[in-house]
């Protein structure tokens, strides 16, 4: 589809989801007071979702691009100052989460989900002792892929076998993977496929009592009592690696510009919402859901 068609499609889906969210709120209002913004919330979310998909990670880049090229789609945008747009987009972090969940509610329960985490450094390692951002919130952790220590957070995620993100959790880099898994699966049931970091017999037994069955290979590869079974699990986890690759390359989630945690959460939810919508739109067109590069033909 063309970019014009993509913008229209995203706005329609976002606006329908926002209406469902508002209908489920007590009093059916998103704002308790204050003037009605010139740009509707559905318009702002559309700008964020499409802008993130177009690899425009910063608010100013999204604002400038659509004001220059798509003011005819968003006639109120030229009347809105950039800082007003940035504040409104950041303050909608909870609505982004609710819209995302509203989209997931229309999907069938997956057969199982895959769990993993992605390191999010907030500064270079050498600057970590002097970094004032996220003081008392970020922590030192291990990047097992790069084999180095970093300072920041981890983005934990649950992804279904097709690549649709089901749940996310932002935690300090030193928090155990199992703690985040318990938080993301609270109130849920089903099977979760993890790597060796999720081999914790006591925690697995506790989660089993809640209806969560964690499937993970033995903690130590060299002492694995059943290596053939562990190797058979590896191909099932490739899907989450693809999703993390998209979040890193297309959505640039590892570029942490935010100075406060809630601002970082807002931007991460923007990326997750955009990924979810592009997945659903691609699938509705009959294409491979994660082939985002094929979504635009002009």
Give the tens place of pLDDT for each residue, 255-290: 888 888 888 999 999 999 999 999 999 999 888 898
Residue 22 pLDDT grade (very low, low, confident, very high; cuts 50, 70, 90):
confident
Is the pLDDT reported for residue 154 higher than 90? Answer: yes
Residue 29 pLDDT grade (very low, low, confident, very high; cuts 50, 70, 90):
low
**What is the SS3 string spanning the chain?**
CCHHHHHHHHHHHHHHHHHHHHHCCHHHCCCCCCCCCCCCHHHHHHHHHHHHHCCCCCHHHHHHHHHHHCCCCCCCHHHCCHHHHHHHHHHCHHHHHHHHHHHHHCCCCCCCEEEEEEEEECCCHHHHHHCCCCCCCCEEEEECCCCEEEEEEEEEEEECCCCCEEEEEEEECCCCHHHHHHHHCCCCCEEEECCHHHCCHHHHHHHHHCCEEEECCCCCHHHCCCHHHHHHHHHHHHHHHHHHHHHHHCCCCCCCCCCCHHHHHHHHHHHHHHHHHHHHHHHHCCCCCCCHHHCCCC
Average pLDDT, the chain: 90
pLDDT at 192: 93
Of 36-40, 50-54, 61-65, the least confident: 36-40
Give the tens place of pLDDT for each residue, 168-218: 999 999 998 889 999 999 888 899 999 888 999 999 999 999 999 999 998
């Amino acid at each position: 589809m063309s970019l014009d068609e993509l913008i229209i499609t995203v706005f329609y889906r976002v606006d329908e989801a926002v209406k469902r969210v508002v209908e489920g709120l007590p009093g059916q209002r998103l704002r308790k007071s204050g003037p009605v913004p010139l740009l509707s919330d559905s318009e702002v979310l559309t700008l964020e979702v499409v802008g993130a998909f177009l690899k425009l990670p910063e608010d100013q880049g999204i604002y400038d691009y659509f004001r220059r090229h798509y003011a005819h789609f968003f006639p109120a945008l030229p009347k809105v100052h950039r800082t007003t747009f940035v504040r409104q987009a950041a303050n909608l972090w909870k609505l982004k989460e609710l819209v995302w969940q509203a989209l997931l509610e229309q999907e069938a329960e997956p057969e199982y989900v895959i769990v993993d985490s992605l390191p999010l450094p907030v500064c270079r390692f050498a600057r970590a002792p002097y970094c004032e951002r996220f003081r008392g919130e970020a922590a030192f952790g291990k990047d097992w892929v790069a084999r180095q220590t970093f300072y920041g957070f981890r983005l934990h995620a649950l992804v279904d076998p097709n690549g649709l993100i089901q749940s996310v959790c932002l935690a300090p880099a030193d928090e155990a993977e199992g703690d985040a898994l318990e938080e993301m699966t609270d109130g849920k049931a089903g099977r979760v496929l993890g790597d060796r970091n999720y081999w914790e017999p006591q925690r697995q037994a506790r989660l089993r009592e809640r209806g969560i069955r964690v499937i993970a290979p033995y903690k130590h590869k060299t002492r694995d009592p059943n290596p053939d079974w562990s190797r058979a699990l590896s191909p099932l986890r490739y899907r989450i690696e693809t999703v993390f690759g998209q979040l890193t390359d297309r959505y640039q989630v590892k570029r942490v510009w935010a100075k406060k945690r809630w601002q970082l959460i807002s931007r991460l939810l923007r990326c997750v919402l955009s990924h979810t919508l592009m997945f659903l739109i691609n699938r509705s067109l009959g294409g491979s859901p994660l082939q985002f590069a094929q979504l635009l033909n002009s």
